[in-house]
Amino acid sequence: MARPLVLVLDGEEFPVSITKIDREKLYGRVEIEAFDEKGREASLRILAADGKTLIDKGGTALATVTDKGDSVDRNELIPINEDGDAIELVTSSFNQKNELEPATIEDYFTQIVKSVYLVGTFGIDKLDGLYDRLSEGQIYTFPFSWRGGIEYDNAYVIASNGDIFIVVGKSADFQYVKLNQAAVLDAGEEEEISADDLDFDLM
């Protein structure tokens, strides 16, 4: 049985279910099938390094090895930071209560979105208490990790057209420049142009 994602707002708990929204569900998908001259369906093969051996699907695999070439089980690997210290793993958001904190629209718009989820009820009839707060234009955020791992993503809870969504992503690292830093003149151009000289009516 699926586990609920428990959101907490001002001490009130909202156990919810989430359904990922992807492009296939929104727009459908197209599959391309290839056949030879006899009508037989074509399949993908991998050409080996010798240039003549064809490897069928399932004939290759990835393995993790040490610098000596010994195989290592993934469960034995420990994530470390740049200093070589072990990184403390984070807990799955489904294994804990997730306190919602107010967020700004600026925070939301600086996200590189990874996933969007539609929020539904889980063991409760309605989410009116949560939706009422969101319908006023308020955005909430909390750290999110589906399975747990090295670090959390940013999750933003928003409302639109009667539905509640959770938008998951990472903060973008924008580098802002001034106007005079963005303008580069040709080497042969002697006349200096300032921002005051620009006539935006001509653009």
Tokens of 28: 């459908």
- Closest among 140, 131, 132 to 102, alpha carbons compared: 140
**Which residues 6+ apart lie within 8 Å of 13 measured at CB?**
6, 7, 97
Would the CA dihedral through 149, 8, 128, 124 be positive or negative? positive
The confidence score (pLDDT) of residue 9 equals 93
Is residue 43 within 8 Å of 35, Cβ to Cβ? no
Distance between CA atoms of residues 44 and 62, nearest Å: 18
Distance between CA atoms of residues 133 and 146, nearest Å: 25
The confidence score (pLDDT) of residue 187 equals 53
- Closest among 91, 78, 61, 77 to 152, alpha carbons compared: 91
Mean pLDDT by 10 residues, the chain (203 residues): 86 92 84 89 87 87 85 84 87 96 93 94 81 89 94 94 93 74 52 50 45
The confidence score (pLDDT) of residue 15 equals 93
The confidence score (pLDDT) of residue 1 equals 47
Distance between CA atoms of residues 162 and 132, nearest Å: 10
